[in-house]
């Protein structure tokens, strides 16, 4: 079954939206890491604070990362089928 132009446009828009969300989360993560490092130095927190931040980030935003991976796979599959996306 050949996908319509609307289906292709929808898949491309979903991929772009997922990419924007993940990039937003990445910048938020960078701000949190910088803040954690500054707090760690100021209050003499242990180095494990950074690892906890990384683990929490992975747990909270893993669904968005998986969504981006799915949309990326979907677009690659459409491109491999010969559709111009």
Question: Which token pair is 39?
Answer: 């707090």
List, for residues 14-48, the tens digit of each pLDDT value.
999 999 999 999 999 999 889 988 988 999 888 88
Residue pair 75/11 in contact (Cβ under 8 Å)? The answer is yes
pTM: 0.78
Q: Are 83 and 3 in contact (CB under 8 A)?
A: yes
Q: Which residues contact 74 (CB under 8 A, 6 or more apart)?
A: 11, 15
pLDDT at 1 exceeding the cut of 70? no
Helices (H), 1-85: 5-43, 48-80
The domains of the chain are located at 5-80
3-class DSSP state for residue 46? coil
> Which pLDDT score is estimated for 3?
64
């Amino acid at each position: 079954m050949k996908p319509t132009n609307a289906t292709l446009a929808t898949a491309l828009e979903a991929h772009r939206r997922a990419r924007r969300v993940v990039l937003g989360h990445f910048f938020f993560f960078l701000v949190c890491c910088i803040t954690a490092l500054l707090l760690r130095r100021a209050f003499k927190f242990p180095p494990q604070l950074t690892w906890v931040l990384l683990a929490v980030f992975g747990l909270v935003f893993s669904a968005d990362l998986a969504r981006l991976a799915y949309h990326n796979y979907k677009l690659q599959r459409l491109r491999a089928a010969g559709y111009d996306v």
